[in-house]
Amino acid sequence: MRKLRIFEHISIDGVIEAAGGTYGDWTGPYRTPEGFATVTAMYGENFDLILGRTTYDQWSGYWPKAPSSPMADRLNAATKYIVTHTPDSLAWGPFEAVNDLIEGVRRIKATDGADLIVCGSSTLTSQLIEHGLADELVLLVNPVLLGTGKRLFADGTPARSFHLENSTALSSGIVVNTYKFGGPLQNLK
C-alpha cells in the first residue's frame, strides 16, 4: 500500500492562502537553496502527485517549462492524479483524472507504486484526513502572521491527534514539522 503525504506552507497563525492574494507570494522571502534542497529530499526520488484542479492548473503552467532540476524533473515525471470533473483539458502528464476523491484515493493507495504527495490542493486535505487516507502531514511553518485567509483545515474537520516525527529549523526561519496521524482525539475529561 502506498503512503500518502500532505505538504503545506503555512503561516504561524495557520493561514495557507492570504485573503484575496493580499500579500502576494508571502513564502517567497523565506525560500532558500537550503529549503529547496530540504523539500526536494523530503519528496524523495520517486513519487506521484494527487492534486486538486486549481493546483494542477497553476503548476501545469510552470513546471513543464521550468529548467531541469531535481524537483522539476521529478514533478514532470510523476503521475499526476487530478481530482476534476473536467478531464478533457488535462495536458501535463502523465496524468489520470479522478472523479471521486475518496474512492479514487483508496484505489490508488491500494496499488503498487511510489508514495503519493498532496501539495497545495487544500480543498482535498480535510477530506483525506477525515477518511483516514493521509499518513503524514508536513507543515512548512513560515515566520509570518497573516491574520486572515484560507486555513489549512476546513470548519468541521474531525478532531485528530498527531505525533511529531521530526522538526527541522531552516536558517530562513521556516520550521519544517513532520507529523504522523495518530487517530481520533482522545477526550481527557
Q: Give 42-85 pLDDT, tens digit per residue.
A: 999 999 999 999 889 989 999 999 999 999 999 999 999 999 88
> Is-contact 149 12, C-beta < 8 A?
no
Check residue 102 and give its pLDDT: 95
Predicted TM-score (pTM) of the model is: 0.90
- Give the Cα-Cα-Cα angle 24, 44, 157 (nearest 5 degrees): 55
> Is-contact 58 120, C-beta < 8 A?
yes
pLDDT at 123 over 90: no
pLDDT at 110 over 90: yes
What percentage of the chain carries pLDDT values higher than 90?
A: 57
* CATH number given to 4-112+130-176: 3.40.430.10
Calculate the average pLDDT of the chain. Answer: 89
